[in-house]
């Protein structure tokens, strides 16, 4: 019998790491040994024979997942990341030469979602559609070589991201028991593919008071899918009922896929259009880049007929991407409610 609590620890497992605290003051980040990881969006190997099923499950539960073995070269991702850092390190007055016009969609400015919130965001954004030739000439008027390097890289990035997006889209359709033929505009047998996409470079500068600011506020993407490379810096979080905000841990080389509102509509609500946000931090300038993929701008998107029946009627009325983007700018996160068919 122990007669005092002094002996209570005798013979209990007691390795060095369980006895000696870290020298916390010497650390600038949390080592893996001390990281308390919550359950988060799955990481899916695209070459896994089971990828289709895993993607279907992830889309229903999370509306987001990370992919590895995705076919986009690491070397390209690194180059785009470096170019993104280089772009945002330009002096403010230089970046303003490419300021997005009030009616335009491309160029430098605040994030597209800024109109949703009463407060402004701790971030800046540069958006492109195809080659950013016009903006490159505004940014580097006397450096044609610099313009070419920038444009070539951004075009290459969009080409690779598009290939990945189509591969993932196809797996998503298959997981719903559909084929590419069920979506006429996706990979048309005749004529060219008129799908549209934006490439957005995002920058979240170091913030002196991160707890008082927000990089990107809670939002759902207007897209069909968003393909995001977040490099190695934490910040992205997804919202899950009951669990709250969950970090999406950067996995070296992995790419994040988010389900947007249009995919949620197309799947008749089966796929979760994930609510997400980006936090800022005190020590690292965070950059990310997002390939925002959607249908041809006039194409009407509605729940796919094969996914609806008398017991499972369509939940949303048809909308095209162009009008939906406008509605999102005006109504923010409530734009989707306006399309909900409440009479069923
Ligand atoms: O930077 C991130 O991690 C998130 C970016 C994002 O949500 C967006 O561009 O829509
Ligand atoms: Fe987003």
User: Model ipTM?
Assistant: 0.99
Nearest alpha carbon, ligand 1 atom 9: 290
pTM above 0.90, yes or no: yes
* Predicted pLDDT at 344: 46
- Considering only CA atoms, which of 82, 62, 175, 84 is closest in space to residue 132? 84
Check: CB of residue 44 under 8 Å from CB of residue 256: no
Q: How far is the CA of 220 from the centre of ligand 1 (A)?
A: 10
Q: Is the CB of 290 under 6 A from ligand 1?
A: yes
Q: Is the CB of 123 under 6 A from ligand 1?
A: no
Q: Is the CB of 202 under 6 A from ligand 1?
A: yes
Question: CA distances (Å), 191 to each of 140, 184, 186, 315, in order?
Answer: 37, 11, 11, 31
Helix H or strand E segment including 263: helix 261-266
Q: How far is the CA of 39 from the centre of ligand 2 (A)?
A: 20
Give the span between the Cα atoms of 229 and 257, in whole angstroms.
9
Q: How far is the CA of 277 from the centre of ligand 2 (A)?
A: 7
CATH tag, 43-343:
2.60.120.330
Give the span between the Cα atoms of 133 and 148, in whole angstroms.
8
Q: Is the CB of 276 under 6 A from ligand 1?
A: yes
What residue segments make up the domains of the chain, in order of their start? 43-343
Partnered with residue 227 across adjacent β-strands are: 257, 291
Q: How far is the CA of 17 from the centre of ligand 2 (A)?
A: 40
Q: Is the CB of 278 under 6 A from ligand 1?
A: yes
Q: How far is the CA of 226 from the centre of ligand 2 (A)?
A: 7
Give the span between the Cα atoms of 39 and 55, in whole angstroms.
17
Q: Is the CB of 195 under 6 A from ligand 1?
A: no
Question: CA distances (Å), 8 to each of 30, 211, 329, in order?
Answer: 31, 41, 63
Q: Which ligand is nearest to the CA of 236?
A: 1
Phi, psi of 273 (to 5 degrees): -80, 95
* Predicted pLDDT at 178: 96
| Probe residue for ligand 1, chosen from 112, 199, 216 as the CB with the greatest number of ligand atoms within 8 Å | 216
> Is residue 91 packed enough to be buried (19+ CB in 10 Å), middle (13-18) or exposed (0-12)?
exposed
Check: CB of residue 84 under 8 Å from CB of residue 107: no
Q: How far is the CA of 181 from the centre of ligand 2 (A)?
A: 28
Q: pLDDT tens, position by position, for the chain (344 residues)?
A: 557 888 888 877 778 888 899 999 999 888 988 988 889 999 999 999 999 999 999 999 999 999 999 999 999 999 999 999 999 999 999 999 999 998 899 999 999 889 889 999 999 999 999 999 999 999 999 999 999 999 999 999 999 999 999 999 999 999 999 999 999 999 888 888 899 999 999 999 999 999 999 999 999 999 999 999 998 999 999 999 989 999 999 999 999 999 999 999 999 999 999 999 999 999 999 999 999 999 999 999 999 999 999 999 999 999 999 999 999 999 988 899 999 997 44
* Predicted pLDDT at 343: 47
Nearest alpha carbon, ligand 1 atom 10: 221
Q: Which atom of ligand 1 is nearest to the CA of 215?
A: 1
Catalytic residue IDs? 286
Q: Is the CB of 288 under 6 A from ligand 1?
A: yes
Question: CA distances (Å), 280 to each of 35, 87, 253, in order?
Answer: 18, 19, 21
| Probe residue for ligand 1, chosen from 105, 161, 226, 290 as the CB with the greatest number of ligand atoms within 8 Å | 290
Instruction: Provide the token pair at 305.
Output: 């007929």
């Amino acid at each position: 019998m122990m007669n005092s609590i002094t002996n209570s620890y005798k013979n209990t497992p007691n390795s060095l790491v369980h006895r000696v605290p870290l020298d916390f003051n010497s650390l600038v980040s949390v080592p893996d040994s001390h990281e308390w990881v919550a359950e988060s969006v799955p990481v899916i190997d695209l070459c896994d024979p089971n990828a289709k099923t895993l993607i279907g499950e992830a889309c229903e539960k999370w509306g987001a997942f990370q992919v590895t073995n995705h076919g986009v070269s690491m070397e390209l991702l690194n180059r785009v990341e470096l170019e993104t850092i280089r772009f945002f390190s330009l002096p403010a007055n230089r970046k303003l030469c490419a300021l997005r016009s009030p009616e335009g969609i491309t160029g430098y400015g605040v994030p597209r979602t800024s109109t949703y919130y009463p407060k402004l965001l701790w971030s800046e954004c540069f958006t492109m559609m195809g080659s950013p030739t016009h903006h490159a000439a505004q940014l580097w008027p006397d450096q044609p070589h610099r313009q070419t390097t920038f444009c070539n890289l951004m075009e290459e990035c969009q080409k690779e991201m598009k290939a990945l997006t189509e591969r993932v889209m196809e797996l998503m359709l298959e997981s719903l028991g559909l084929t590419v033929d069920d979506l006429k505009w996706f990979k048309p047998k005749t004529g060219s593919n008129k799908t549209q996409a934006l490439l957005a470079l995002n920058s979240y500068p170091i913030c002196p008071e991160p707890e008082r600011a927000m990089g990107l506020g809670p939002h759902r993407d207007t897209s069909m899918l968003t393909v995001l490379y977040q490099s190695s810096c934490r910040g992205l979080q997804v919202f899950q009922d009951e669990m709250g905000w969950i970090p999406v841990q950067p996995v070296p080389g992995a790419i994040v896929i988010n389900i947007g509102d249009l995919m949620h509509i197309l799947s008749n609500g089966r796929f979760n259009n994930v609510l997400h946000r980006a936090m800022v931090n005190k020590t690292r300038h965070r950059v990310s880049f997002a390939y925002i993929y959607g249908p041809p701008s006039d194409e009407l998107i509605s729940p796919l007929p094969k996914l609806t029946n008398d017991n499972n009627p369509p939940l949303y009325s048809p909308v095209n991407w162009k009008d939906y983007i406008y509605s999102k700018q005006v109504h923010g996160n409530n734009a989707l409610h306006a399309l909900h068919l409440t009479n069923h």
